[in-house]
Amino acid sequence: MATTDEPADLDLARLDLARLDLARLDLSAQAALVASGELSALELVDAAIERAERVNPRVNAIIHPRYAAARAEAAAMTGSSAPYAGVPIVVKDLGCTIAGEPHHQGVRALKAIDYRAPTDSAIFRRLRSAGFVVIGRTNTPEWGCTITTEPLAYGPSRNPWNLDYSTGGSSGGSAAAVASGIVAAAHASDGGGSIRIPASECGLVGLKPSRGRVSKAPDVGESWMGSTTDGSVTRTVRDTAVMMDVLAGYETGDPYSAPPFARPLVDEVGADPGALRIGLLDHPVLGAVGHLECLTAVANTAALLESLGHRVELSWPEAIGDPSFAGHFRSIVATWTANDVDELAAILGRPVTDDDIEPDNAALVAIGRSVTGSQYVASMLEVHRWCRRVLSWWHPADDSAGFDLLLTPTIAVPPPPIGYLSEPGQGGRVFELLQYTAQFNVTGQPAISLPMHMSADGLPVGVQLVAAYGREDLLIRVAAQLESAAPWLGRVPSVYG
């Protein structure tokens, strides 16, 4: 494992471009190089593309390169006043559409016809307006329906820390691109843990924002009953805040809209969070067995938080362990996946066959087809009641003092080997690992995974912090505090070199 002492903030007067490894700079530092004239947008993008061409064959992160388009866009940015002019990023091949460009969503049938998106998403429009240059689209499992990135359409993305292991999913291609140093940040999305789990498995920061914080316009209002959202994976808390400031905001017709931040989220980096009351969940809640590395990560983080002046108590919202939760959530996801198949059939102009979708999704669709309209509504109403029970831990009905944050493992085990979760018929393994994340997609709360631990065999292990609805500001303050107390930026995988 290589290390670096290169800081995120640089004194440009002392900058030696011949020595500088651009891949180790965060978004703000890269943008500063362009703004100062030390480096052109094209040079910055060229450096990322050169790295992608060297590294991507090993990790299979980028599946749709757009190198020529990226170079042309960067070359046209001379004199741009955009805050991140020329900064290279990648976007996930799910949700962040670019008109006229591939959007295959991990689906073989869409790959076979080289399906192209009809519209620009609001996410891409916001990234472009901020000056970011997209150099490629990243790998994702079929429709983002699992927590490993091993689609039959494009093959597995590989963990830069050990190429035999999973990157997590469904934003695994984005996480592999950032962890391997191709880019500093990447678009990602999360329906049950799909930002936080890849962040945990690849040693990154991953924030799932509050419901309604990031728009899915123009083509989608919500999916999975409002459980899915978009965000990013990055190496630093500051970059996570930057990306959320860029992506957040209401778009006309959105069914939900989170309350605006009081100030830019990046201003919360370094802000004093005060002395907080933090609950600790140190074991799985849905019937699995906790892994020692994950429990150690949480215990060490709890001790660090206490040393920083916070009060950590063994407490959590007991409703998140309600055994009925998984069944209701599965029914909701299955019903939406059945609709995905109907939309695929409309695109193809023919019925969808078993050769078009993967076996586990075919089984999920069968469940979805069996759910009646009245059963779906019953599940929805039960989930709404369950959400109120969960959120009452943060906001007790009797006006007694609630908790500020909840600390948990991100996932129940360290990164599993490639094949462990993708083997047909092993969907139950997904739910064994998925103990701590999906609940907060359903409640709509913000949650962040931080790379606080490395396993004995050199694999990253993340911890999760969950805040009350709308309190991304509090998450960023505490995450930055932890980053300062136990820096992780110097840890990089060997594929990085």
Check: CB of residue 358 under 8 Å from CB of residue 142.
yes
The pLDDT value recorded for residue 497 is: 65
DSSP element (H, E) containing 1? none
Segments making up each domain of the chain, as ranges: 12-496
Work out the pLDDT band at 289, boundaries 50, 70, 90.
confident
pLDDT exceeding 70 applies to what percent of the chain? 96
Which residue out of 166, 194, 223, 455 is catalytically annotated? Answer: 194
The pLDDT value recorded for residue 21 is: 72
Q: Which amino acid is at 259?
A: P
Report how many helices (DSSP H) and strands (DSSP E) the chain contains, helices first. 15, 11
Work out the pLDDT band at 15, boundaries 50, 70, 90.
very low
Tokens of 25: 């700079």
pTM passes above 0.75: yes
pLDDT digits (tens, 9 = 90+) for 135-145: 999 999 999 99
The pLDDT value recorded for residue 6 is: 38
Burial class (CB in 10 A: 0-12, 13-18, 19+), 353: exposed
Work out the pLDDT band at 12, boundaries 50, 70, 90.
very low
Work out the pLDDT band at 18, boundaries 50, 70, 90.
very low
Tokens of 393: 């831990």
3-state secondary structure of 406: strand
| CATH number among 3.30.230.10, 3.40.1160.10, 3.90.1300.10, 1.10.260.40, domain 12-496 | 3.90.1300.10
pLDDT digits (tens, 9 = 90+) for 355-400: 999 999 999 999 999 999 999 999 999 999 999 999 999 999 887 8
Annotated catalytic residue 81: no
Which residue out of 92, 111, 208, 216 is catalytically annotated? Answer: 92
pLDDT digits (tens, 9 = 90+) for 107-138: 999 999 999 999 999 999 999 999 999 999 99
Tokens of 243: 């990306």
pLDDT of 238 higher than 60: yes
Q: Tokens 């651009």 label which residue?
A: 22
3-state secondary structure of 264: coil
pLDDT exceeding 90 applies to what percent of the chain? 90
Which residue out of 121, 166, 170, 215 is catalytically annotated? Answer: 170
DSSP element (H, E) containing 62? strand 62-65
Check: CB of residue 120 under 8 Å from CB of residue 76.
no
Annotated catalytic residue 92: yes
